[in-house]
Structure 1
Amino acid sequence: MRSTITLCCLALLLASCNSVKRNQKFVAQGNYDQAIELAVKKLQKNRDSDKSDAHIVLLEEAFVKAVDDDTRRIAFLKKENNPAASREIYHLYRDLEFRQNLIRPLLPLYSDVLGRNAKFKLVDYSVELIAAKQAYIAYLYTEADAYMDRQQIADYRTAYHIYCEIDELQPNYKDVKRLKEEAHYYGTDFVFVSLNNRSGQIIPHQLERELLDFNTYGLDDFWTEYHNERQQNIQYNLGIVLNLRDIAIAPERIFEKEVIRKKRIQDGWEYRLDRNGAIVKDSLGNPIKIDKFTNVEARLFITEQSKSVLVAGNVVYRDLIARRDLNDFPLSSEFIFENIFATYQGDKRALEDEDWNLINNRYVPFPSNSQMVLDAGEDIKLRLREILKNNSIR
C-alpha cells in the first residue's frame, strides 16, 4: 500500500515539475497569455501544492510582461493615428481586461520564494475600453459604407457581414438595421427560373408548377432567391432555364406467356401388403403405412403490362445581362409502368409459392400519357435538385 502511495506522489510531482518547466518555456518564448492561463489553471486546481509557489512567481512575471507589451503596442498605434488600427486597439484593451478578470478571483497569492504577496497592478480600463469600442464601431461603419458605395454584389455581401459585426458590438447602432437589410437585398442573386417545353407534347400544368417551385428543393441559400414570375423593381442578373426537348411515350404493351408446372406430390397413404395381399405389421403388431405419390400438373397464364415514358432535356445557367449561357447540364428520366398478373388451369397443387403472388394480382388500367409524364416528373425533380445543389449559381 505504501509503495502505491509513493508511486502516485512521484507521478504527481513529475507532472507538476513538467507543468512548471512548460510554463517557464512559455514565458521565455514570449507566450505570456499561455503562461498565465496555465498558471491560473494549476492554482485553481490546487493552490496549496508544493509547486504552486513556482506558478505564482511565473504568473506575476508573465502578467507584468504581457501588460507591458500590450500597453506599449496601444501607445504606438495611437501615435500612428490610423483608423484601421481601431480594431487592434479595442482587442488589446479587451485582453488587458480579460487577464485581470482571470487573476482577480485568486488574489491574494502569497509566495514563500518572494516572501510577499505577488504583485498584480489592476487597472480600471472601462473608460479606455468604451472609447476603443466606439472608435472601432465608427471605423466599421465607415468601412461598410465604402463597400456599399462600390455597388457590387460581392461588396454588398462584405458590407452585410460588417453590419452584423456592428450589431453584435452595439445593437441598434445608428441606422445599421436598415443598412443591413439593404446590403442583403443588393447582395442577393435574384434568379429567374423558366421552363421551355420544346418536346411537342403537352405537359401537365401540375408538373410545370412543381418543377418551377424552387422552394421545394431545399436549397436554403441566404444569398440566392429563385422566382418563377418576374417581380417589379427587381433586376434579374441570372437565370435558370429548364428545357424539355423530348417526351417519348412508348405504346401500351401486353405480353402473355404460358408456363406448365409439374410436380410429384404426396397424396395420402396406404397399407403395405405382402405378396399374398395381406397387411404387413411391425414388431408391435401395428399395420405399416406407406405414403402414396401422384403426379399433378397446372397451366399458368402470365400477363405482363408495360408502358414507358422518356423525358429528356437540359438545364441552362444563363447570364441575363450579357445574354450568354454560363453552364449547360443534361437532364433525363425514364419512368416505366409495369404490372404482372396470372391465372391458372389444372391442379393448383402443382403451383410454386411465387406463382400465387402473380395469381393474387389483377389487371390494372394503363395510366394516361399525362399521368406517365407526371410520374416521370418526380424523378426529374430529384435530378434537377442534384444539379442545383452541386453547381453554384455563380
Structure 2
Amino acid sequence: MLLIALLPACRTTKKAYERGDYETAVFNSIERLRRSPNNKKSRETLRQAYPDMVATLQGEINDAKLSPDPLRWERVVRYYEVLNRAYDEIQRAPAARQVIRNPQNFQTDYNQALRQAAEVRYTMGNQALAAGKAGDRERAKEAYAHFQRALELRPGYRDSERLMLEAQSYATLIVEIEPIPMHSRSLALSNEFFENQLTEYLATAPFSPFVRFVTVTETQALSRDPDHILQMSFDDFVVGQAYVKETVAQRIRDSVVVGTHKVTEDSTVDVYGKVEAEVHRFRKEISSGGLLDLRILDARTGAVLTQRKFPGTFIWEDRWGFFQGDKRALNDEDKQYMRKQRESPNPPPQDLFIEFTKPIFSQVTQFVGAYYRDR
C-alpha cells in the first residue's frame, strides 16, 4: 500500500523538477525518502534537483544584490533561508544524506545578509523619523515599521527599539475624552459607571498602535496637546416611566375530577365536572431610555470631524397576580403570575440609567473602533 501511495507523489515531484520548480522537487524528494529510504525515483530527483536549486538561488542572490531596490537584502535573506532549510532537512534525513553527501551550509552568508537588511531598515527608519519629527505623521508611521522590521531581522539591533517607540510617539494621535455632563433636575444620577467603563475600554482596545485615548487629567500630564477631542452628552433621557396594566379573566376548565362515586362496597369511580376561577394578572413596566450625542473634534481648529447619535432603551418588568375560585382552572401562564401576590419594589433610578446605557456603550465602542482602526 505504501508503494502505491508513493507513486503519484513521485510523479508530482518529478514534474516539479521538469518545470524548473527545483525547490518543491528538493523538499518533496527529501520527505519521500524519509518515508521510503530506498525509493530510486526520489533519490534520482534529489540528486538532480539539489544542485540546480542551489545554482538557481545563488543566481537570484547575485541579481538581488545588484538590484536598485533598497530592500534587496531582505530578498537575499529569503533565498538564504531556503538554502539553509534544504541543508538542515538533508542533514536530518539519512537517505537524503546518502544522495547529497556535501550539502552547502550558507549560515555565514545568511547572517551577513540579515545584518545588511537590518541596517537598511535602520537607516530608512532614521530618515523617516526625521520627517516625522518635522510633523509628517505618515512618515513617523513608516519609521515605526522600519525599526520594527529591523528588530524582526536582528532582535536587539542597535537602538532600534528605542527609536521605534520614539517614532510611535510622533505618529500617535492623542484623543482626549471629555467628561460627560449630566443635566437632571429631578433625579440625582451619575454617569460615572458608563464613563469609567468607556474610558477603560478605549484605553486598552487594540484599535491601532498609533491612537491613544486619554482623560483630561492625563492630558495635563503629557508634554503635548491632544489631536482630537471626544465629546459626548445625553441629548435627552427618561428614567423610570412606569406603566401598570391589570387583566381580569374568567377561567373555566371542563373534565376535572371533582369527586368520587361509590359503585360497590369495594370500588369507586371518579366524578368529573367543571371548575372556575377569576384571575387578576398585573404587569408593570418601567421604561428608561436616552440618546447620546458623540462628536469627534479637531483639537486645534475645533472642526467637527464626525458626529453620531446613539439610542439606548431598557424596560424593567414585574408580574404578579391573585385569583378567586378553584386553582385547577388556572393555565400555566396564570400560575407564573401567581408566584407573586404583590409587586416588587421599583429598582433605583441609577440602576435603570446604567441598564439603558449598556446598548449605547456597545454602539459607541464599535463606532469609535471603526473610526480609529488603522489610523
Q: TM-score, normalised by structure 2?
A: 0.80
More deviation, 213-222/182-191: 213-222
SS in 1 for 2:19: helix
One-letter amino acid of the structure 2 residue matched with residue 348 of structure 1: K
State the shift of 1:239 in Å.
Answer: 2.8
State the shift of 1:313 in Å.
Answer: 2.6
Once residues 91 and 270 of structure 2 are traced to their aligned partners in structure 1, the CA distance between those partners, rounded to angstroms, is 98
Q: Which residue of structure 2 aligns with residue 353 of structure 1?
A: 332
Q: Which residue of structure 2 aligns with residue 150 of structure 1?
A: 131
Q: Which residue of structure 2 aligns with residue 85 of structure 1?
A: 72
Gaps of 5+ in 2: none
Once residues 172 and 297 of structure 2 are traced to their aligned partners in structure 1, the CA distance between those partners, rounded to angstroms, is 16
Of 79, 93, 114, the match for 1:133:
114
Q: For each residue in 1:190-220, what CA deviation from the matched residue of structure 2 results, as whole angstroms up to 9, or x when unmatched?
A: 2112354476555314345335423279733
Q: CA separation of 1:211/1:242 partners in 2, compared to 1, >3 Å: closer, same or farther?
A: farther
SS in 2 for 1:213: helix
One-letter amino acid of the structure 1 residue matched with residue 112 of structure 2: A
Mapping 1:116-195, distance limit 5 Å: 122=104, 126=108, 128-151=109-132, 152-195=136-179
Mapping 1:1-394, distance limit 5 Å: 11=4, 14-15=7-8, 18-19=11-12, 21-27=14-20, 31-52=21-42, 54-59=44-49, 61-63=51-53, 65-66=55-56, 69-70=59-60, 72-73=62-63, 77=66, 84-103=71-90, 106-109=96-99, 122=104, 126=108, 128-151=109-132, 152-197=136-181, 200=184, 203-210=189-196, 212-215=198-201, 219-221=205-207, 222-229=209-216, 230-232=219-221, 233-249=223-239, 251-264=241-254, 265-272=256-263, 289-361=268-340, 362-392=342-372, 394=375
State whether residues 175 and 226 of structure 2, in contact with CA within 8 Å, keep that contact through their aligned partners in structure 1: yes
State the shift of 1:294 in Å.
Answer: 4.1
One-letter amino acid of the structure 2 residue matched with residue 15 of structure 1: P
Q: CA separation of 1:57/1:159 partners in 2, compared to 1, >3 Å: closer, same or farther?
A: same
Once residues 289 and 70 of structure 2 are traced to their aligned partners in structure 1, the CA distance between those partners, rounded to angstroms, is 64
Larger radius of gyration: 1
One-letter amino acid of the structure 2 residue matched with residue 344 of structure 1: F
Once residues 275 and 304 of structure 2 are traced to their aligned partners in structure 1, the CA distance between those partners, rounded to angstroms, is 70
State whether residues 182 and 190 of structure 2, in contact with CA within 8 Å, keep that contact through their aligned partners in structure 1: no
State the shift of 1:342 in Å.
Answer: 0.8
CA-atom RMSD, angstroms?
Answer: 3.4
Q: For each residue in 1:93-142, what CA deviation from the matched residue of structure 2 results, as whole angstroms up to 9, or x when unmatched?
A: 44444444444563442xxxxxxxx786847662x444333322221111
Once residues 54 and 288 of structure 2 are traced to their aligned partners in structure 1, the CA distance between those partners, rounded to angstroms, is 80
State the shift of 1:311 in Å.
Answer: 0.5
State the shift of 1:18 in Å.
Answer: 1.7
Q: CA separation of 1:358/1:69 partners in 2, compared to 1, >3 Å: closer, same or farther?
A: same
More deviation, 237-246/89-98: 89-98
Q: CA separation of 1:171/1:71 partners in 2, compared to 1, >3 Å: closer, same or farther?
A: closer
Q: Which residue of structure 2 aligns with residue 114 of structure 1?
A: none
Q: For each residue in 1:321-369, what CA deviation from the matched residue of structure 2 results, as whole angstroms up to 9, or x when unmatched?
A: 3422222222111122221211223333333333232122231122343
Once residues 382 and 17 of structure 1 are traced to their aligned partners in structure 2, the CA distance between those partners, rounded to angstroms, is 56
Once residues 388 and 157 of structure 1 are traced to their aligned partners in structure 2, the CA distance between those partners, rounded to angstroms, is 21
Q: Which residue of structure 2 aligns with residue 277 of structure 1?
A: none
State the shift of 1:258 in Å.
Answer: 2.5
State the shift of 1:378 in Å.
Answer: 2.4
Once residues 58 and 354 of structure 2 are traced to their aligned partners in structure 1, the CA distance between those partners, rounded to angstroms, is 74
Once residues 214 and 157 of structure 1 are traced to their aligned partners in structure 2, the CA distance between those partners, rounded to angstroms, is 25
How many percent identity over aligned positions? 17
SS in 1 for 2:226: coil
Gaps of 5+ in 1: 110-117, 273-280
State whether residues 342 and 359 of structure 1, in contact with CA within 8 Å, keep that contact through their aligned partners in structure 2: yes
Once residues 136 and 350 of structure 1 are traced to their aligned partners in structure 2, the CA distance between those partners, rounded to angstroms, is 85
Q: CA separation of 1:367/1:63 partners in 2, compared to 1, >3 Å: closer, same or farther?
A: closer
State whether residues 190 and 236 of structure 1, in contact with CA within 8 Å, keep that contact through their aligned partners in structure 2: yes
Once residues 210 and 42 of structure 2 are traced to their aligned partners in structure 1, the CA distance between those partners, rounded to angstroms, is 54
Q: For each residue in 1:156-200, what CA deviation from the matched residue of structure 2 results, as whole angstroms up to 9, or x when unmatched?
A: 233223222222333332222211222222333321123544765
SS in 1 for 2:178: strand
State whether residues 240 and 352 of structure 2, in contact with CA within 8 Å, keep that contact through their aligned partners in structure 1: no
Once residues 389 and 59 of structure 1 are traced to their aligned partners in structure 2, the CA distance between those partners, rounded to angstroms, is 51
SS in 2 for 1:308: strand
